[in-house]
Every structure is written in C-alpha cells, then in structure tokens.
Amino acid sequence: MKKDIHPDYHEITVIMTDGTEYTTRSTMGKKGDSIRLDIDPKTHPAWTGVHRLMDSGGQLAKFNKRFSSFGLKT
C-alpha cells in the first residue's frame, strides 16, 4: 500500500440513545473521540417494528379522504 494516502483508522466510542456504549474502529475524528447517536437500532421503527403515522399538516387526512373510495381502511 502507498504511504500517507489512507485515513487514520482508530478506536472511537459510540453512545447509543439509551446511554449504552461500545467501542469500534472508525476514521471519524481522532483516537478516543465519541459519537452520540440520535437514532439507533433500539429506537428506529425500521428495526423495532413499531410504526407511528404522524398527521402533520393534515396530509394523512387528505390522503385518506382522496383514496377512501378504494376501500382502504382508515
């Protein structure tokens, strides 16, 4: 490998939304830095299977009204 062209690969600490931590290797920041996650597999609906529909600005109500004639349940 060529010298001085690759980023520094070092250990960082990842802090999950519930406060648990683990150490991994990354090119982010410098050695010993930490990253605090806003979304992680413990809270994101894609992994938890819990989905909520938020009706912001009436978009969900507008959709339901438009497509209610197709037999969709609201």
Q: How far apart are CA 1 and CA 52, in angstroms?
A: 49
pTM for the whole structure: 0.53
Is residue 61, in this structure, part of any structural domain at all?
A: no
Distance between CA 40 and CA 16 in Å, rounded? 7
Nearest by Cα to 39 from 18, 13, 69: 18
DSSP code of residue 11: E
More confident position, 61 or 10: 10
Does the residue 49 lie in any domain?
no
Q: What pLDDT is recorded for position 7?
A: 87
Q: Is the distance from CB of 17 to CB of 38 less than 8 angstroms? A: yes
Mean pLDDT for 2-7 is 85
Judge whether 19 lies within some domain: yes
Which domain range does residue 16 map to? 1-43
32: in domain: yes
Considering the domain boundaries, does residue 51 fall inside one?
A: no
pLDDT tens digits, 8-59: 899 999 998 888 999 999 999 999 999 998 888 777 777 777 766 666 667 7
User: What is the total count of domains within the chain?
Assistant: 1
CATH of the domain at 39: 4.10.80
13 falls within a domain: yes
